[in-house]
């Protein structure tokens, strides 16, 4: 702690001493050395307990032996509470052997009452070492949290991968069946329900990838105030009518580079969290947007995120009048396995922090029991909005326009994905070969490369992954046309490949797959 010249150094001091005169001598010595002590003197176990419960202390000074108390008992009371408070003995009677035993028991230092000139130096050293221990624990906790989030991110990414494969089979087969059979009701409605449920489940996998910090999404300039305005009706319908929803939205905010659907999810998760904190009582949730220059000196409190640098940020604040949280609870709220509510609430705040991290932002939480909570999200602002990413043409293409001839090689470790893709491509006239992993796919391509027009290649597979498989394919035939499929976003996937590859995101409908193959073959007609 830096103290300005001429300024007294504050010190919250607990003195365990039966002699008021000796306590005052210690205080005078500390004042002469530049401290400004605020102290309390205790001499019994009950007084000690009350003092420890009253407030946090910077340091404990304790006599060794007293009529109604002892240094050992005082030290035990501090240790039983798990307090890392420097404990310094000040005594006229302690011997060298007793002093050594006291240090082994947890005392930090000892000073004799006949030589109080050492006291200030001992106190200053112990305060400095206490700060270092506190900083070390903070860094260790940050590392532990980072390791936990990394592990959970890997878990979430693995679940999302497997889930996307299942959804690709469900969505592809259901959409193909609906178009191929053109069934009457009620079968048509049932198939449409399967498609709708699959698409909603695909949104959940995007949330899992967001939590894993691996979602790139559809990035474009986004006005956060406009996003909140557009979803205000949905938000109101999602919370209790007893809760007043208040919007304080700044006009003409600078844009952020973001996926608007993920920002919508972030807002919804924070508002629902606030509404649930209020419960069945009357209350209010206030959503505020603003813009400000950020540096850590101008803002109080900690932001949960990787390090964010100074600059202009758009702020989204969600404040509720709910039950609030105590200090030990706040660090746990972004853990997907922690909840203060009943189970089965979904990803909630865990997804929120994933979205924030994925957009290179940070989030701050302030709360106290009975005083509600405030979640403040900061997202980097862009001074000049770049052009929005073009949206893929979603025009329904006539079946005859998608028909083709030739062979397609499917390399995917999931049978349900291969089956859905085969059904689609055979419907449009293609010959289909299948391989359940990269190695067998390469072996098949070596035998049939003169026939195969396109390879549909999964990114994540056992034995040999998509990237390794691609290297072997272009070794055999450098000009081979490849479509890589993955649940991750295109910019994350394509950059892993040295050559030109096309991309299709899982889960996909039969129509998207047929369009992608036709589009690729139309770029340059091949002659065999």
- Angle of helix 510-523 relative to helix 415-427, nearest 10 degrees, comes to 60
Between 288 and 392, residue with greater pLDDT? 288
In whole angstroms, what is the distance from residue 179 CA to residue 514 CA?
A: 13
- Copy the structure tokens of residue 50: 């009350």
- Cβ atoms < 10 Å from Cβ of 297: 7
Give the per-residue pLDDT at 298: 55
What pLDDT shows up at residue 303?
58
Task: Report, as an integer, the average pLDDT of 396-405.
Answer: 65
Domain of 417? 399-523
Query: How many C-beta atoms lie closer than 10 Å to residue 344's C-beta?
Result: 6
- What pLDDT score does 211 carry? 54
The answer to whether position 324 is within a domain reads: yes
CB atoms < 10 A from the CB of 44, how many?
15
Let me know whether 64 and 177 are in one domain.
Answer: no
Q: Phi, psi (5° rounding) for residue 255?
A: -70, 155
pLDDT band at 403 (very low <50, low <70, confident <90, very high): confident
Are residues 507 and 463 both part of a single domain?
Answer: yes
Give the total number of structural domains in the chain. 4
Give the per-residue pLDDT at 526. 46
Confidence of residue 488 (pLDDT cuts 50, 70, 90): confident
Q: Average pLDDT for residues 162-166, to the nearest whole number?
A: 78
pLDDT in tens, 407-461: 999 999 988 889 889 988 998 899 999 999 999 999 999 999 999 999 999 998 8
Are 439 and 411 members of one domain?
yes
Mutual angle of helices 119-181 and 510-523, in 10-degree steps = 90
The residue ranges of DSSP E strands in 218-356, in sequence order, are 220-222, 243-248, 255-258, 283-294, 303-304, 311-320
Q: Is the pLDDT of residue 489 over 90?
A: no
Strands (E), 86-230: 87-91, 109-112, 220-222
* Pair 446, 470: CB distance under 8 Å: no
Helices and strands (H, E) in the chain, number of each type: 16, 18
Q: Would you say residue 475 lies in a domain?
A: yes
**In the beta sheet, which residues pair with residue 88?**
61, 109
List the beta bridge partners of residue 363: 304, 377
Q: Which of 160, 185, 190, 186 is nearest to 174 (CA)?
A: 190
CATH (domain of 79) = 3.40.50.2300
pTM value > 0.85: no
23 and 77 together in one domain: yes
User: Is residue 391 situated within a structural domain?
Assistant: no
Domain boundary among 54, 85, 107: 107
**Of residues 505, 487, 503, the one with CA closest to residue 495:** 503
Residue 124 in any domain: the answer is no
CATH of the domain at 234: 3.30.565.10
| pLDDT computed for residue 39 by the predictor | 93
pLDDT of 390 = 35
Same domain, 236 and 326: yes
How is residue 55 written in tokens? 């407030």
What pLDDT is attached to residue 219? 75
The more confident residue out of 33 and 209 is 33
> Is 424 a domain residue?
yes
Question: In terms of Cα–Cα distance, which of 273, 172, 187 is closest to 510?
Answer: 172
| Residues 399/428, Cβ–Cβ less than 8 Å | yes
Give the model confidence (pLDDT) of 279-297 as tens digits. 888 999 999 999 988 876 5
Q: How confident is the model at residue 339 (pLDDT cuts 50, 70, 90)?
A: low
pLDDT recorded at residue 509:
83
Q: Do both 311 and 450 map to the same domain? A: no
State how far the Cα of 58 lies from the Cα of 127, in Å rounded to an integer: 7
Reply yes or no on whether the pLDDT at 10 is more than 50: yes
Q: How far apart are CA 345 and CA 351, in angstroms?
A: 12
The per-residue pLDDT for range 218-246, each reduced to its tens digit, is 678 899 999 899 888 878 877 888 999 99
Strands 255-258 and 220-222: antiparallel
Query: Looking at residues 72-79, what average pLDDT do you find?
Result: 92
Judge if 47 and 75 occupy the same domain.
yes
């Amino acid at each position: 702690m830096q103290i300005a010249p001429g300024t007294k150094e504050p010190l919250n001091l607990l003195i365990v001493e039966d002699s008021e005169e000796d306590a005052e001598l210690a205080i005078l010595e500390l004042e002469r050395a530049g401290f400004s002590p605020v102290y309390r003197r205790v001499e019994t176990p009950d007084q000690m307990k009350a003092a420890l419960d009253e407030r946090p202390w910077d340091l404990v000074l304790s006599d060794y032996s007293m009529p109604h108390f002892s240094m050992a008992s005082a030290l035990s009371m501090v240790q039983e509470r798990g307090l890392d408070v420097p404990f310094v003995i000040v005594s006229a009677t302690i011997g060298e052997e007793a002093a050594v035993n006291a240090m082994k028991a947890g005392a930090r230092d000892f000073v004799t009452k006949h030589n109080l000139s050492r006291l200030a130096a001992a106190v200053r050293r112990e305060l400095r070492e206490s700060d270092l221990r506190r900083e070390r624990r903070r860094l260790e906790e940050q590392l532990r949290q980072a390791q936990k989030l990394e592990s959970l991110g890997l878990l979430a990414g693995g679940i999302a991968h497997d889930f996307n494969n299942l959804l690709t089979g469900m969505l592809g087969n259901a959409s193909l069946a609906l178009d191929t059979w053109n069934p009457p009701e009620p079968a048509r409605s049932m198939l449409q329900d399967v498609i709708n449920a699959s698409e909603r489940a695909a949104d959940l996998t995007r949330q899992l990838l967001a939590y894993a910090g691996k979602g790139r999404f559809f990035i474009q300039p986004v006005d956060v105030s406009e996003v909140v305005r557009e979803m205000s009706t949905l938000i109101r319908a999602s919370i209790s009518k007893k809760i007043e929803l208040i919007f304080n939205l700044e006009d003409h905010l600078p844009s952020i580079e973001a996926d608007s659907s993920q920002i919508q999810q972030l807002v919804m998760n924070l508002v629902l969290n606030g509404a649930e904190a209020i419960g069945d009582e009357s209350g209010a949730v206030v959503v505020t947007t603003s813009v400000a220059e950020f540096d850590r000196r101008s803002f109080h409190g900690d932001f949960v995120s990787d390090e964010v640098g100074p600059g202009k940020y758009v702020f989204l604040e969600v404040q509720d009048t709910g039950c609030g949280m105590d200090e030990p609870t706040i660090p746990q709220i972004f853990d997907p396995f922690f909840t203060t509510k009943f189970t089965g609430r979904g990803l909630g705040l865990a997804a929120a922090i994933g979205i924030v991290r994925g957009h290179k932002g940070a989030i701050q939480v302030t709360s106290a029991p009975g005083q509600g909570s405030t979640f403040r999200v900061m997202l980097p602002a862009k001074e000049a909005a770049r052009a929005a990413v073009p949206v893929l043409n979603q025009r329904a293409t006539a079946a005859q326009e998608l028909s083709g001839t030739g062979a397609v090689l499917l390399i995917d470790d999931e049978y349900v994905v291969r089956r859905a893709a085969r059904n689609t491509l055979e419907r449009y006239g293609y010959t289909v070969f299948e391989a359940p992993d990269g190695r067998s796919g390469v072996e098949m391509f070596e035998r049939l490369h003169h026939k195969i027009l396109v390879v549909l290649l999964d990114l994540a597979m056992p034995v040999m992954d998509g990237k390794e498989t691609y290297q072997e394919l272009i070794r055999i035939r450098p000009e081979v046309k490849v479509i890589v499929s993955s649940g991750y976003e295109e910019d994350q996937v394509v950059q892993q490949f040295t050559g030109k590859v096309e991309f299709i995101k899982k889960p996909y409908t039969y129509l998207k797959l047929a369009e992608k193959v036709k589009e690729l073959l139309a770029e340059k007609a091949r002659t065999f």
